[in-house]
Amino acid sequence: MQRITVRDIAEMKTKGEKIPMVTTYDYPTARLAEAADIPVLLVGDSLGMVVLGYDSTIPVTMADMLHHVKAVARGAKKALIVADLPFMSYQVDAAQAMTNAGRMVQEGGAHAVKLEGGECVAETVRRVVACGIPVMGHIGLTPQSVNAIGGYRVQGRGLQEAAQLLRDARALQAAGAFALVLELVPAPLAGLVSRKLSIPTIGIGAGPECDGQVQVLHDMLGLYTDFVPKHAKQYAHLAQDAQAGLSAYAKEVREGAFPTEKESFSMGEAVLRELESL
Ligand code: KIV
């Protein structure tokens, strides 16, 4: 099985083929996404919220990320694995970014890293790329800056903000990023940025004109029922299925209906008789 590379992803844009990407956080989700022929798996720091139960991505550490990246790498034999660099693992300076990007690839088994920010991280991106590590940029809503932004809201609606977003996108492309996530950006602006860049844009809440789309696995598979972001579409309703299964199991255990002979193992009558006499 041949591994998908950043060259394949670039070629998909050239050919006008849309790029599906999804977050995966462990061995089973990586296997499921790969069986669905999804070429790019993102081990997103969203795992802090959807797997670890934090209320933002800010508490996520390099240790958390590496633990999950390794599990995804064990499950995905074909897809390109992109690992998020967590909050404060690349912002201090380029040396810190290179060290941590290197760990994601060398220890984690990722093939690329993603980091948040535009012009202000372009030099860092350039340095990491120069180490031979592909970098995916991430602009628009950058969740690691939620405290500075003041909430999870659409970015780039006004002229100045939109023009800055375009400058950020161009700076990341010039720095060598192989692709760019556009998060919570008005659809027409995401379309314009996608047309102006030669590298692929991957949208989340950024409309249909991006070169690819990324979704958080738990949102799209319906693993949570209390909150579904506007930009997410539920392609399955796993929470209901899982809850129904767990309730049926608990009921059968309480009633003595599980396990039956079918789920049990036998042994020789003679051994049993011997044991009974002890
Ligand atoms: O962490 C994540 O899941 C992400 C996506 C929302 C793009 O960065």
The pLDDT tens digits for 56-67 are 999 999 999 999
pLDDT in tens, 180-231: 999 999 999 999 999 999 999 999 999 999 999 999 999 999 999 888 899 9
- 8 A C-beta contact, residue 90 and residue 142: no
Residues with CB under 6 A from ligand 1: 23, 42, 44-46, 84, 138, 181, 183, 204, 214, 216
In a mutational test of the pocket of ligand 1, which residue from 22, 46, 136 has the highest number of ligand atoms less than 8 Å from its CB? 46
Note the pTM of the prediction, 2 decimals. Answer: 0.96
Tell me how far apart the alpha carbons of residues 235 and 153 are, in angstroms, rounded to a whole number. Answer: 24
Tell me how far apart the alpha carbons of residues 230 and 183 are, in angstroms, rounded to a whole number. Answer: 12
Residue closest by Cα to atom 3 of ligand 1:
44
Tell me how far apart the alpha carbons of residues 134 and 136 are, in angstroms, rounded to a whole number. Answer: 7
- 8 A C-beta contact, residue 129 and residue 177: yes
Q: Which residues are catalytic?
A: 183
In a mutational test of the pocket of ligand 1, which residue from 57, 144, 146, 152 has the highest number of ligand atoms less than 8 Å from its CB? 57
- Whether the upstream peptide bond of residue 259 has omega within 30° of 0, thus cis, is yes
Ligand 1 centroid to 240 CA: how many Å?
Answer: 24
Residue closest by Cα to atom 2 of ligand 1:
44
Ligand 1 centroid to 11 CA: how many Å?
Answer: 23
Query: What's residue 264's pLDDT?
Result: 98
Residue 86: Cβ within 10 Å count: 25
Residue 5: Cβ within 10 Å count: 15
- Given a cut of 90, whether residue 1 has pLDDT beyond it is no
Q: What is the mean pLDDT of the chain?
A: 97
Domains present along the chain, CATH in parentheses: 6-236 (3.20.20.60), 241-276 (no CATH)
Ligand 1 centroid to 154 CA: how many Å?
Answer: 15
Residue 38: Cβ within 10 Å count: 21
Closest CA to 50 of 238, 247, 217, 237: 217
- Given a cut of 90, whether residue 137 has pLDDT beyond it is yes
Query: What's residue 227's pLDDT?
Result: 86
Residue type, 65: M
